[in-house]
């Protein structure tokens, strides 16, 4: 019997990930992204995806769109997540249980 082929996330075709785009403000970036400071080049801002579950975040990030210049290298969490402090002291995006319909 043949086993199904597993695709690792890092091996997806590059067409699914547009090349990083330099920016100054959120409005220059596409949906689902914000204009955050680059991790590699401090003076550069890049269009960066909004935080998904488990991604590091900053608890005081401005919502999208923010009309000023962001001061962090992370974007706010996606709308269905909140930026929570974990036991290790780091902040990460996690499910916002207040907004879930049970």
| Per-residue CA distances from 38 to 6, 15, 19, 47, 52 (Å) | 32, 22, 14, 9, 18
Residue ranges making up the domain that contains 94: 20-99
**How many structural domains compose the chain?**
1
> Does residue 10 fall inside a structural domain?
no
For residue 67, tell me if it sits in a domain: yes
pLDDT in tens, the chain (102 residues): 455 545 444 444 434 445 679 999 999 999 999 999 998 887 899 999 999 999 999 998 899 999 999 999 999 999 999 999 999 999 999 998 766 565
Flag whether 84 is in a domain: yes
**Domain annotation covers residue 81:** yes
Q: Is residue 50 part of a domain?
A: yes
Taking the complete model, does pTM exceed 0.85, yes or no?
no
Residue 59 lies in a domain: yes
CA atoms within 13 A on the CB side of 87: 0
Which CATH number does the domain housing residue 95 bear? 2.10.80.10
Q: Is residue 14 a part of any domain in this protein?
A: no
């Amino acid at each position: 019997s043949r086993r199904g082929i597993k695709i690792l996330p890092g091996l997806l075709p590059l067409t699914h990930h547009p090349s990083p785009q330099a920016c100054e403000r959120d409005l220059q970036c596409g949906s689902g992204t914000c204009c955050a400071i680059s991790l590699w080049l401090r003076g550069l801002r890049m269009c960066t995806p909004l935080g998904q579950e488990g991604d590091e975040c900053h608890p005081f990030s401005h919502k999208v769109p923010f009309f000023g210049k962001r001061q962090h290298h992370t974007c706010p969490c996606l709308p269905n997540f909140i930026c929570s402090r974990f036991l290790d002291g780091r902040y990460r995006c996690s499910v916002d249980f207040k907004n879930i319909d049970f």
